[in-house]
């Protein structure tokens, strides 16, 4: 992954010296506006929560977002990467272009939370009827970015630059056979067409982080994610006489065990963490028939791009050679889903005082890396980016008992969204202010 962004020399060099960890008159004004807008942001969130739509199907969501942006006088483009929406707000003064991103798709999860605005929506996923729920907080991301858009639009004449609001579909992954998400947004020119941003900021609500807290990490903050499929071909035979065939079931078991030694014995764990998980295995139809083939599928998570590529090579070598030793054949397919979510170290250092100013220094936490993945990484491959987590857990709750993301009981304390709005606006304003002082 190329981390040598050309604009680092011109843009980040201008951010020399730490930002002052205090509110400027403009950010103070933005924070006051964010406080006043909190009820509206909550209203936005409840609408999107009650009306969720699956990946690449966010038609009504996109329509609502476009309507809200147009009300603010923001130029809007729709239909990017199927249902994506982009708004452009040109400030009254010259300056850099800053991109802000929110994802807007829901998950095939049936909601159990007892909320007056709980989702009752139904949909279809991989041909199966499913409940649909914002079980990862993307509804809050949309609401917070709409709130930030309203704050920034209200001070348009004072903005020292341009803001590009990116509302992205399919972060959770496009349906089978379709393209989608941040990779398709980038492919269709979201960062190149129109005003070209030199940095991008994004955030994610977290149901197990207390309200009022921000979490950050320079470098790899979330893992790159890949999907692998291994097809083991043997020779079908009666289960009573396995010596007449080649057993792909036993071979697959050996391959699964072998894959675990890649992490434990073949990569340098002191450098970065990585995970190989086999999540499904299918083969055979009857207890006394050794089948002709077995198919297993799994995921690779890595926080280091070089290590990620090394793991791919080791998976192919391990599977094919173990199969060969048993007289079987292993076919390995590995599909990249998302790169490492990589916070540009220089940008993170320069914007850290902004995070501390908006949340309070004691409420900004340097976090451990997560092995979950986030396709915000595709934007960070093109321009420097900073991705942070904002707390959505009620104060005083035990994080271990808080409902996790992607579950039917997922819950977000809406009072945490105000900090998200302030974070997005403060990052934008502070970056513009520093860049204007050439």
Catalytic residues: 105, 171
Q: How many CA atoms lie within 13 A of 58 on its CB side?
A: 40
Name the residue among 103, 128, 129, 106 with its Cα closest to residue 119.
106
Euclidean distance between CA atoms 396 and 429, whole angstroms: 32
* Cβ 281 vs Cβ 248: under 8 Å: no
Name the residue among 219, 245, 215 with its Cα closest to residue 232.
245
- For 222, the 3-state DSSP assignment is strand
Euclidean distance between CA atoms 254 and 8, whole angstroms: 47
DSSP E strands in 51-173: the ranges are 75-80, 84-90, 93-103, 122-125, 128-131, 160-168
DSSP state of 246: B
CB-based burial, 3-14: b 16+ in 10 Å, e otherwise: eebeebeebbee
In degrees and rounded to multiples of 5, residue 277 shows phi and psi of -125, 130
Paired tokens of 226: 């890949």
* Cβ 48 vs Cβ 64: under 8 Å: yes
């Amino acid at each position: 992954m190329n981390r040598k962004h050309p604009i680092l020399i011109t843009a980040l060099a201008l951010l020399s010296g730490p930002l002052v960890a205090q509110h400027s008159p403009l950010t103070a004004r933005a924070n006051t506006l964010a406080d006043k807008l909190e009820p509206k942001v909550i209203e936005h969130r409840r609408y999107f929560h009650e009306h969720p739509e699956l990946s690449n199907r966010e038609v009504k969501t996109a329509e609502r977002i476009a309507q809200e942006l147009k009300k603010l006088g923001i130029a809007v483009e729709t239909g990017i990467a199927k249902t994506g929406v982009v708004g452009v707000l040109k400030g009254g003064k010259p300056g850099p272009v800053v991109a802000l991103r929110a994802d807007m798709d829901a998950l095939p999860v049936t909601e159990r939370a007892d909320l007056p605005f709980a989702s009752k929506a139904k949909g279809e996923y991989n041909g199966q009827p499913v409940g649909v729920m914002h079980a990862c907080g993307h509804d809050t991301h949309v609401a917070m970015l709409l709130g930030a858009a309203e704050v920034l639009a209200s001070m348009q004449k004072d903005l020292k630059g341009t803001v590009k609001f990116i509302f992205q579909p399919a972060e959770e992954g496009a349906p089978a056979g379709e393209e989608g998400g941040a990779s398709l947004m980038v492919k269709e020119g979201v960062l190149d067409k129109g005003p070209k941003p030199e940095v991008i900021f994004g955030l994610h609500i977290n149901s197990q982080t207390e309200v009022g807290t921000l979490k950050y990490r320079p470098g790899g903050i979330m893992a790159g994610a890949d999907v692998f499929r291994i097809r083991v071909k043997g020779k079908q035979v009666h289960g009573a006489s396995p010596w007449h065939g080649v057993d792909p079931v036993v071979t697959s078991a050996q391959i699964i065990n072998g894959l675990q030694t890649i992490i434990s014995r073949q990569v340098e764990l002191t450098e970065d963490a990585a995970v190989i998980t086999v999540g499904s295995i299918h083969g055979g139809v009857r207890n006394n028939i050794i089948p002709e083939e077995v198919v297993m599928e799994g995921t690779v998570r890595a926080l280091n791009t070089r290590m990620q590529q090394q793991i791919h090579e080791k998976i192919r070598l391990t599977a094919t050679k173990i199969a060969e030793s048993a007289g079987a054949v292993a076919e390995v397919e590995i599909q990249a889903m998302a790169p490492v979510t990589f916070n540009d170290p220089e940008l993170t250092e320069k914007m850290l005082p902004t995070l501390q100013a908006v949340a309070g220094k004691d409420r900004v936490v340097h976090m451990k890396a997560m092995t979950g993945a986030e396709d915000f990484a595709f934007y960070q491959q093109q321009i420097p980016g900073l991705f942070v987590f904002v707390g959505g857990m009620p104060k005083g709750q035990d994080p271990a008992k808080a409902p996790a993301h992607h579950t039917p009981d997922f819950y977000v304390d809406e009072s945490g969204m105000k900090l998200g709005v302030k974070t997005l606006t403060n990052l934008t304003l502070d970056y513009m202010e520093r860049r204007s002082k050439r």
